[in-house]
Amino acid sequence: MSAPVFSALWSEIEAIGRVGSGGYLRYALDTPDLVLRDWFRNQADRRDLPVTDDGNGNLFAWWGEPWGRDAVLTGSHFDSVPHGGGFDGPLGIVSAFLAVDQLRADGHTPAKPIAVVAFVEEEGGRFGLPCLGSRLLTGAIEPAKAAALTDRDGVTFAEALGATPAGALPGLTSRIGALIELHIEQGRQLDAPVGVASAIWPHGRWRFDFTGHGDHAGTTRMADRRDPMLTFAYTVLAANKEARLAGAHATMARVEVEPNATNAIPSLVRGWLDARAADTPTMDALVEAVVKRATERAGRDGTEVAVTAESISAEVAFDTALADRLSALLGDAPILPTSAGHDAGVLSAKVPTAMLFVRNPTGISHSPAEFAEPADCAAGVDALAEVLRELT
Ligand SMILES: [Zn+2]
């Protein structure tokens, strides 16, 4: 595949959902995402690939019998984190369509169905729970629970979807022979155009509700304050320090304040902790240490802290034999772990799963600066086509 052929299809979606920051606001099932989903159907139509929906918002474009035995799925997601980059997710879908084109041009006749897939709400940017579509497909979340998740405007997932999600349809995942997700690399670990994933770090999201006593910023004596912002601020620093000590990652990047007024001591500060580590005991110990220090500090500030685990994703070890096979097939492509979550990680609990990474020259992701060279993206398409040929 030549870089210009890749760039030609890429340019069709490049502007969709891009805002002034240069980043993307592609919230699941919001307007830009709906435009991308129409684009997906259109691409499938152009290639005579019938599209099915699993009732959970995930889309499948089929080359071969829909849900035929041992189907090989390949794709990713359209949604972005707020003001994120354009490659995280869509690269896997665009590459999948191009890999189908390449296999057809080569005269390949797949012995098993191939499906290009678009998973819904991978980032959790709208409804708060990452990999929602793949969790529903695999039965990792109850449909009723998913249906009731709300976005920041109070719209439920069921309302956005236009139906209660169907959940795991009986026998569906048993028809999947393999899932291959191509994705931009999100660190600087990969110094070749294409690599193969070995594992995903365990990771999770915890909500910290810091409560105190709302009062006047001018008239309340310093000694009389019960200010939850102080406890929050201390916790942000403590999380950073504990993560450094543990060789893990901790981030507090989302915060809500009530009443969020310049001249009022807040009554509530709500912050989210994103924590990740190479193994589950390290991650658990990290979170425990942060909670302990937040609680101690709350005692000194006269505030309270309540912690809720919103989502926890266990460590994922991808199918080692499959990863080795793909690495060998791709000329000894590097095999590397990632600390980012993916739909492929959720699927790996049920089906043989592998991921291909495309080089990210700066390592920047979840930012407008996220970027991959067209030549590397084209190499990614070649690798994906090679893998699909081998598997079908
Ligand atoms: Zn992604």
DSSP output for 334-384: -EEEESS--HHHHHTTTS-EEEEEE--SS---SSTT----HHHHHHHHHHH
CA of 313 to the centre of ligand 1 (A): 15
* Residue 136, pLDDT score: 97
* Residue 317, pLDDT score: 87
- Answer yes or no: is pLDDT of 380 > 90: yes
CA of 126 to the centre of ligand 1 (A): 14
CA of 59 to the centre of ligand 1 (A): 16
- Dist. CA 378–CA 366, nearest whole Å: 22
Contact 94, 9 (CB under 8 A): yes
Q: At residue 304, what are phi and psi to the nearest 5 degrees? A: -130, 150
* Residue 34, pLDDT score: 98
Q: At residue 162, what are phi and psi to the nearest 5 degrees? A: 85, 10
* Residue 339, pLDDT score: 87
CA of 307 to the centre of ligand 1 (A): 27
CA of 78 to the centre of ligand 1 (A): 8
Whether residue 277 sits in one domain with residue 157: no
Whether residue 208 sits in one domain with residue 134: no
Contact 247, 290 (CB under 8 A): no
* Residue 124, pLDDT score: 95
CA of 28 to the centre of ligand 1 (A): 13
Give pLDDT tens digits for 79-90.
999 999 999 999
CA of 301 to the centre of ligand 1 (A): 39
- Dist. CA 327–CA 319, nearest whole Å: 12
* Residue 189, pLDDT score: 87
- pLDDT confidence tier of residue 170, bands split at 50, 70 and 90: confident
CA of 10 to the centre of ligand 1 (A): 16
Whether residue 223 sits in one domain with residue 330: no
Whole-number mean pLDDT of the chain?
96
Print the domain residue range for 193: 3-201+315-391
Whether residue 92 sits in one domain with residue 25: yes
Looking up residue 306, the CATH number of its domain turns out to be 3.30.70.360
Mean pLDDT, rounded, for 70-86: 97
CA of 25 to the centre of ligand 1 (A): 14
Whether residue 157 sits in one domain with residue 42: yes
- pLDDT confidence tier of residue 156, bands split at 50, 70 and 90: very high
Give pLDDT tens digits for 118-154.
999 999 999 999 999 999 999 999 999 999 999 999 9
CA of 236 to the centre of ligand 1 (A): 26
Give pLDDT tens digits for 240-268.
999 999 999 999 999 999 999 999 999 99
**CA-to-CA separations, 12 to 18, 35, 119, 359, 379, in angstroms, rounded:** 13, 11, 19, 22, 19
Looking up residue 182, the CATH number of its domain turns out to be 3.40.630.10
Whether residue 165 sits in one domain with residue 57: yes
- Dist. CA 17–CA 31, nearest whole Å: 8
Q: Is the pTM of this model over 0.85?
A: yes
Closest to 32 in 3D by CA, of 13, 10, 51, 12? 13
CA of 293 to the centre of ligand 1 (A): 32
* Residue 271, pLDDT score: 98
CA of 242 to the centre of ligand 1 (A): 27
Mean pLDDT, rounded, for 288-296: 98
- Answer yes or no: is pLDDT of 167 > 90: yes
CA of 296 to the centre of ligand 1 (A): 36
Whether residue 134 sits in one domain with residue 246: no
CB atoms within 10 A of CB 290: 25
CA of 387 to the centre of ligand 1 (A): 20
CA of 85 to the centre of ligand 1 (A): 10
CA of 342 to the centre of ligand 1 (A): 6
* Residue 171, pLDDT score: 84
Contact 148, 132 (CB under 8 A): no
| Residue 292 identity (one-letter amino acid) | K
